[in-house]
Amino acid sequence: MSIRILPPLLVNQIAAGEVVERPASVVKELVENAVDAGATAIDIEIEEGGRELIRVTDDGSGIAADELVLALTAHATSKIARSEDLEGIATMGFRGEALASIASVSRVTLSSRPRGAEAGATLDTEGDQSGTPRPAGMGPGTRVVVRNLFFNTPARRRFLRSPQAEGTRVAETVRALALAHPGIGFRFLVDGRERLSVTASASLRERVRAVLGQDTDAGLLDVEAADGDLRLRGMIGTPDLARATARALHVVLNGRPIVDRVLQHALREGYRGLIEPAQWPLAVVWLEMDPRQVDVNVHPAKSEVRFHDPQRVHALVRRGVRSALGAEDLVPRLDLTRSTAPAGGGRMATGAPYRPAPPMPASRAGGRGPGAGPAPTPRERATGPSGFDYQAARHAMRAAAPSDLAFTTGASAGPDPGRDVAGDAWAAPTAAPSAAIQVHRMFIVTEDAEGLLVIDQHALHERVMFEQLRARILAGTLESQPFLVPEAIEAGAGEMEALESLQPLLRRIGIEAAPVGPRSVAVSAFPSLLVERGVSAAPFMQSLLARAAEAPIGDSEEALFEVLDMMACKAAVKAGDRLTPAEISSLLAQRESVERSSRCPHGRPTTLRLTIRDLERQFGRR
C-alpha cells in the first residue's frame, strides 16, 4: 500500500478524536479560549446535552474580521510563537487545534467583535467548507455556535450517551471551570433553563459556596501553604462532608482544572485516618507555581500534567491539608433535629424521637481480645444493664487513683475499684474534673465545655494504639520479643510469595517470620507491644499474608500505615471489654494528647458530641 498525504479535513477529524471526545470537551475548549481572551463574563448554552447545540458567548478581546478564517485553521494560534514558549505555558490553550477540530466534525458559526471596533463579523463553516466573513451586529467579544456535533462522523455520534448523561458531563465541566476562575462570571443554560449563574467575585469562599451549594459552607475549612514560589490556597471539607466519589474534589493549577494522581494522593494522605479509605474528601484547592516547573503538554485535553518536582508539590499539599484539619475540632455533632445523616457519617440524626440503636456486636468492632470478660448475653442486651448504682459509682470514683497510662501497654492497671459497680455502667474520673461512665461495655460517656461526649472505646483506643505504634516506628524499628517456641501457620502458594516481598516491612515492625516448608511459615518473634496486649502472632500473620496475597502491600509509608492499622485494631480494647475507672481515665487522658483523636485510623468517628443547646431543645428549655 503506497504512502499518501492525508487531506486536511481527515487530519482535523483525527485531531478531533483527541481533543473533542464529547460535548463537554467542546465546552471546555471554547470556555478556555474565552478565558484566554480576557473575558469577565461567559455564557454557556446547550440543547439536547450539547449534541444539537452548544453556544458560548464571552466579552473578551474578540477576533478581527480578517482573522476569522485563520482562527478556524489548524495550528493557528495567538498564544505561542516559538518553541521556547512551550517551556512556560501561561494560557489555558495553546495548540491552535480546538476550533479547527470542532469545525471539522460539526457546523460552526464564529462571530466576533474586537474591543474598540465599530462592528463585528461572522463566519459559517461546515466540515472543510467555509464561507466568507460578513458583517454582524453584536457587542464586543466572541460567540461560537456549534450545531449537530459529529454529524459527518456517525460512528462517533453513536458512541455519545443520552442527552441527560452528556448534559451532566457538561455541567460538571462548567462547575469546574467556574471554580477555577472566581474572577469571571458564568451563566449556564440547559434547554433554555438556567442551571448556574455566578457573578465575578474576588472571594474564593463565595465562589465555592455559589457553585457547590450553601449547605457546604459551614463545613469548609480554609487551607493555605507556601514553599517558595509554590503556593496552595483553597477550601477543604470536614471529614463528615466526605463523598463516595471524587466528583467533589477540584484541583486547579495556574487556573487550569486538572486531574492529577499526585495531588489526589496528597489530598487523601492529608485526610488519612479521618475518612474511610473508600471515601473522597470535598476539596477545592488552587495551586500556583512557575509554569516552567510543570508540563501541561502531556495530553491533548490538557487535564493531565507532569510536575518537574512531584515530591515537593505532594509534600506542600499534604502539609497544608493536615495543618488545616489539625487546627479544627472535628468531633461530629449528634444532631437530633435533622432527619437524615450525611454519607460521611459525621452528623448523625433522626427526625423521630431519639431511640438508641442496640449495642454493636463485638465482631463488628473488631472482635474480642484475650483476657476480656464475657460479652453481654442476648438477654443482657435485650433487657439492658441492671442499672447504674450511683452510690457505688461515687465510691469507685473516690477510690480510683490516677493512671500511669500503663493501660495502653497491657501492664496491670492496679486495683479494680470499678468491679464493685453494679451492671455495665462504670464511673471514672477523667483528666479534667468531669466524670465518665462506661455504658454497655462499649461506650464511654463524659462531658466537655460544649455538652456530652459519647465515645466508642474500641475506636478511640485503636487511634491511641496507632499513634503510639507510629511514633515508635518513626523513631526506629519496633521492639521485638522472641518466642521460645516459634508459632507455625499454614500458607498457600500466593501467601508464600507475599511473605518474601513483605520481609523489609516485617523487619521494621518487629516480626520475624520465615518458611519452614513448602506450605508452612514459622513466626519466631513478634512486636512486644502486641504481645503485651495479648495479640496472638499466628492469626495476625495469617491475616497479613492473606491481605498481601490479594493485593501487594510493599514497603512504602502508606503500606506501613496500613499494617499499623491492623496492629492497632488487634491491640485495642474491644466492644464488650469491661474497663476499670483507672483505664477509662487513662484512655480519656490520652484522647487529649494524640493527633486526630476524633477518628479511628480507618476514618470512623471515635466521638460524638451532643451539645447543651440540643439537650435544652429536646427538654423544651428556652
- Residues near 61 by Cβ (< 8 Å), separated by ≥ 6? 37, 38, 114, 115
* Band of pLDDT at residue 74, cut at 50, 70 and 90: confident
Q: Which pLDDT does position 402 carry in this prediction?
A: 40
* 586-603 pLDDT per residue, tens: 999 999 889 899 999 989
DSSP state, 333?
Answer: B
* 235-278 pLDDT per residue, tens: 999 998 999 999 889 999 999 999 889 999 999 999 998 998 88
* 55-64 pLDDT per residue, tens: 999 999 999 9
Q: Which pLDDT does position 45 carry in this prediction?
A: 98
Q: Domain spans of the chain?
A: 8-198, 204-326, 477-571
What is the assigned CATH class of domain 477-571? alpha beta
Q: Which pLDDT does position 476 carry in this prediction?
A: 82
Q: Residue 372, SS3?
A: coil
Q: Which pLDDT does position 555 carry in this prediction?
A: 65
* 121-156 pLDDT per residue, tens: 999 998 777 888 999 999 999 999 999 999 988 888
Which architecture characterizes domain 204-326 according to CATH?
2-Layer Sandwich (3.30)
Q: Residue 334, SS3?
A: strand
Q: Which pLDDT does position 338 carry in this prediction?
A: 56
Mean pLDDT of the chain: 81
Q: Which pLDDT does position 92 carry in this prediction?
A: 66
How is residue 400 written as a grid cell?
480510683
The closest alpha carbon to 453, from 297, 305, 313, 329, belongs to: 329
* 296-336 pLDDT per residue, tens: 776 656 667 889 999 999 999 999 999 999 999 899 888 77
| Mean pLDDT of the 481-490 span | 93
| Mean pLDDT of the 375-393 span | 43
Does domain 8-198 fall into CATH 3.20.20.70? no
Q: At how many degrees (to 10) do helices 457-474 and 581-591 cross?
A: 60
Are 32 and 99 contacting, i.e. CB atoms less than 8 angstroms apart? no
* Band of pLDDT at residue 377, cut at 50, 70 and 90: very low
Task: Read off the pTM.
Answer: 0.72
- Residues near 328 by Cβ (< 8 Å), separated by ≥ 6? 221, 238
Alpha-carbon gap, residue 454 to 475, rounded angstroms: 33
pLDDT at residue 353 greater than cutoff 50: no
Which range among 336-340, 406-410, 611-615 shows the weakest confidence by mean pLDDT?
Answer: 406-410
Q: Which pLDDT does position 218 carry in this prediction?
A: 82
Backbone dihedral angles phi then psi of residue 474, each to the nearest 5 degrees: -70, -25
Which range among 5-9, 100-104, 538-542, 569-573 shows the weakest confidence by mean pLDDT?
Answer: 5-9
